[in-house]
């Protein structure tokens, strides 16, 4: 791997500090050059407790209470959400979607600030799962009034600065101001060398895409969370659009989420997943990123090996194909006006990101 990404939604600060120290120690001892990226949690609605250590199955027809209240001895079919505004603006008949469709519920009753919901599509409810609400086939925007960087995020950012991380990935970016505010903070802390990556994972990001790319040192297309906000069939076109714009503006782009999702459980990926990785490399993205495959999966090293081998293979094939006069050339890497290398260097081969989190 080239970068270790630590998602600060998970585990304690002490755990993350230990990982950062381990990466830096191995860099010194083994001659590695693995960078460290922290990923902010962002202001988002997610689940924090359902009374189980791991996942719990929601069966079709079962009725669940989604609450923001904490009380001892959570009963069955009860889930706690992370902030008090969880149910604000939600109506009976709205759909509550867990983790982009892993399980779906219909809101059947308001109980003070809580929601009683009937499961309409059975599935798993995972710890820290994100939730979204849909009404008449359209997303109910829950981000209005919430800052991109929460108070917890600012504490986490200062932690990253003190630990000497190399990158900060900003979740749920709305516009360029989110990036500019963070960069000013880094400069004020004499940490201007830390590069800022904007995560494209909400519909608002797409409305302000060009200005976000211009303000950032790199872009991450977080397809998992983006797929919660927009129809799934639009994801491939948006990935291509963001990649092309980044290349035109000479900014590195990372493709993330579910590249080899089946390898969380199985030692061999599906052929469709390999084709997905291949398409990203053919688009000439700069990085491809593992997440659950290496964070909680059973075959993290194999997943990384598949990602690396596939990337190298398709790049070699593409160079041979471009060398043939009969084959149309793929677009070449963009060149900045000054001719200098971009701030976050473009590499010949895609980077392989590892997302580190506690074992599940």
Q: For residue range 77-112, what is the model confidence (pLDDT) as tens digits?
A: 888 887 767 788 889 999 998 887 889 999 999 887
Map tokens 């990036």 to a residue: 179
What is d(CA 122, CA 296) in angstroms, rounded to the nearest whole number?
22
pLDDT bin (cut points 50, 70, 90) of residue 11 is: confident
**156 and 101: one domain?**
no
Predicted confidence at residue 68, as pLDDT, reads 81
Q: Structural domain of residue 268, as residue ranges?
A: 3-43+145-356
Residue 318: enclosing H or E segment and its boundaries? helix 300-323
**128 and 171: one domain?**
no
pTM of the model: 0.81
DSSP readout, 205-262? HHHTHHHHHHHSSEEEEEHHHHHHHS-GGGHHHHHHHHHHHHHHTT--EEEES-TTGG
pLDDT bin (cut points 50, 70, 90) of residue 5 is: very high
Predicted confidence at residue 217, as pLDDT, reads 97
Pick the more confident residue, 70 or 345: 70
Q: Per-residue pLDDT for 119 more than 70?
A: yes
What is d(CA 2, CA 278) in angstroms, rounded to the nearest whole number?
19
Most distant CA pair in the chain: distance in Å?
71
8 A C-beta contact, residue 257 and residue 353: no
**157 and 291: one domain?**
yes
pLDDT bin (cut points 50, 70, 90) of residue 343 is: very low
Final residue before a domain boundary, out of 140, 156, 184: 140
**280 and 134: one domain?**
no
**301 and 345: one domain?**
yes
Give, as one character, the DSSP assignment of residue 274: H
**Domain count for the chain:** 2
Predicted confidence at residue 72, as pLDDT, reads 56
Report the percent of the chain where pLDDT is more than 90.
54
Give the strands of the sheet with 47-49, arranged side by side: 47-49, 78-81, 63-67, 114-121, 103-111, 95-98, 131-135, 138-140
């Amino acid at each position: 791997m080239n970068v270790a990404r630590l998602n600060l939604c998970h585990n304690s600060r002490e755990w993350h500090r230990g990982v950062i120290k381990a990466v830096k120690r191995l860099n010194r001892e083994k001659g590695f050059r693995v960078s460290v990226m922290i990923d902010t949690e962002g202001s988002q609605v997610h689940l924090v407790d359902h009374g189980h250590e791991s996942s719990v199955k929601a069966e079709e027809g079962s009725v669940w209470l989604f609450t923001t209240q904490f009380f001892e001895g959570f009963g069955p079919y009860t889930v706690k959400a992370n902030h008090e505004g969880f149910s604000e603006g939600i109506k009976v008949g709205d759909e509550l979607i867990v983790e982009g469709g892993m399980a779906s519920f219909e809101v059947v009753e308001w109980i003070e600030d809580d929601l009683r919901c009937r499961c309409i599509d059975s599935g798993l409810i995972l710890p820290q799962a994100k939730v979204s609400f849909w009404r008449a086939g359209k997303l109910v925007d829950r981000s209005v009034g919430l800052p991109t960087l929460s108070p917890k995020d600012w504490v986490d950012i200062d932690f990253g600065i003190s630990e000497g991380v190399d990158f900060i990935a900003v979740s749920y970016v709305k516009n360029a101001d989110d990036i500019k505010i963070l960069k000013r903070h880094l400069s004020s802390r004499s940490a201007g060398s830390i590069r800022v990556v904007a995560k494209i994972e909400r519909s608002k990001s797409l409305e302000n895409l060009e200005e976000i790319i211009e303000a950032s040192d790199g872009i991450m297309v977080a397809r998992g969370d983006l797929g919660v906000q927009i129809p799934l069939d639009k994801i491939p076109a948006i990935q291509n659009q963001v990649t092309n714009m980044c290349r035109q503006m000479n900014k590195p782009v990372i493709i993330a989420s579910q590249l080899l999702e089946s390898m969380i459980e199985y030692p061999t990926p599906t052929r469709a997943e390999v084709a997905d990785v291949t398409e990203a490399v053919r688009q000439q993205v700069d990085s491809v990123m593992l997440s659950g495959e290496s964070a909680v999966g059973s075959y993290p090293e194999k997943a990384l090996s598949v990602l690396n081998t596939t990337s190298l293979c398709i790049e070699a094939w593409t160079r041979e194909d471009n060398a043939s006069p009969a084959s149309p050339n793929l677009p070449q890497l963009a060149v900045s006006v000054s001719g200098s290398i971009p701030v976050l260097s473009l590499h010949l081969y895609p980077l392989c990101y590892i997302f580190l989190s506690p074992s599940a």
